[in-house]
Structure 1
Amino acid sequence: MGIALLAGQVPAVGSARAERAPPRPTMWYWHNWTDHDGISHMTKCPVRDFDLKTMSAPAGPQWQDRLKSGHAQVIFTVQPAHWNGVWHPDPTVQWIIPLRGTWYVTAMDGHKVVMGPGEVSLGEDQLSRKDAQGRVGHDAGNVGDGPVELMVIQTDEVPTVDRPCRFG
């Protein structure tokens, strides 16, 4: 016996045969953020404020965590083999998702994260400042001998300081 769900509803527990909603999932993203001294850092952050609801009826419910609504621009990029972005800040607060290939991001504190397809990074180091070595923002580049395909979602968020994991 199945249970029909209305948009935004979770199955009720009433009888011994009632189905229960699965536990809320947790997903993860890397956040490249800046501290009050202008130094960038990479922190692994949870996304866990999910609601079980349909995105478009009559499609079945799925777990959704709507971080914030606002204006965004989607950009697909292909970085050539051996691409290196050298030290630079992100142009805007942006989500970066590798689709094919492997790339890395190194923060000013020295923390290097290597990411492959499906991993997610939030670039928010716009307020970083040059350190004694002349580095600002982050260093990024490709790993391996092939190109890297990325989906970048640039937002209208205002960059912050000292707020690692502010989404999630």
Structure 2
Amino acid sequence: MRRFLLSLTVTFALVTYAHEALAADPEPPTTYYWHNWTDHNGISHMTRCPFHNYILKTMSKPAGPQWQDRLKEEQAQVISTVQPAHWDGSWHPDPKVQWIIPLKGTWYVTAMDGTRVEMGPGDVSLGEDQMSRKDSKGHIGHFAGNVGDDAVTLMVIQTSETPTVDKPCRFN
């Protein structure tokens, strides 16, 4: 009987917590990522895109519910990289469709259309400029580098996605 009451108490607490979480946050959030994509002319662009298909559920019981936007389930390689101070990425396309998340420091990406975006911890970027073509200046893909005098630590998640053309914000 004691075990039953304890189980009932825990279940009630979890249901109450889930209900309170729903009451406190009834609307799904919208968060953003930067998408480095290529148009049909082979020119890369940076577009701010929303994540907004969130559902509230637990990832692993008995953890409470949290908002989740599951993009796609597939194989991925996770790489931690530290770019030395004053790192210069020159003009290059991303090697694979990859998510890039700054963990420490600030870095920038300049697309072929001239758009430059600086990103630091809390920002997310999707690199998908593999289909870009050299322009009249010899630029291809994007130019990246570090901001300031410190090293930049990034988490890179390379996917098995096939690169697309003319599909900015394709994960929304």
* TM > 0.5 fold call: yes
Q: Could you list the per-position Cα deviations for residues 38-80 of structure 1 after superposition, in whole angstroms to 9, with x for gaps in the alignment?
A: 0000000000000000000111000000000000010000000
The share of aligned pairs that are identical, in percent, is: 69
2:82 matched to which residue of 1?
78
Greater Cα radius of gyration, structure 1 or 2: 2
Coordinate RMSD, CA, aligned:
2.0
**Alignment length (residue pairs):** 160
Alpha-carbon spacing, 1:110–1:86, altered in 2? closer, same or farther (3 Å): same
Provide structure 2 residue ranges, at least 5 long, that are not aligned to the other structure: 1-11
Provide structure 1 residue ranges, at least 5 long, that are not aligned to the other structure: 12-17
CA distance in 2, matches of 1:101, 1:22: 34
Shift of 1:118: 1.5
User: Are residues 1:47 and 2:51 paired?
Assistant: yes
CA distance in 2, matches of 1:101, 1:21: 31
Which of 124, 127, 134 aligns to 1:130? It is 134
CA distance in 2, matches of 1:21, 1:3: 16
CA distance in 2, matches of 1:20, 1:27: 18
1:162 matched to which residue of 2?
166
Alignment of 1:62-101 (within 5 A): 62-101=66-105
CA distance in 2, matches of 1:64, 1:36: 32
Which of 145, 154, 159 aligns to 1:141? It is 145
CA distance in 2, matches of 1:105, 1:74: 20
Counterpart secondary structure, 1:4: helix
Alpha-carbon spacing, 1:138–1:19, altered in 2? closer, same or farther (3 Å): closer
Shift of 1:2: 6.8
Contact preservation (8 Å) 1:3, 1:19? no
Under a length normalisation based on structure 1, what TM-score does the superposition of the two structures give? Answer: 0.90
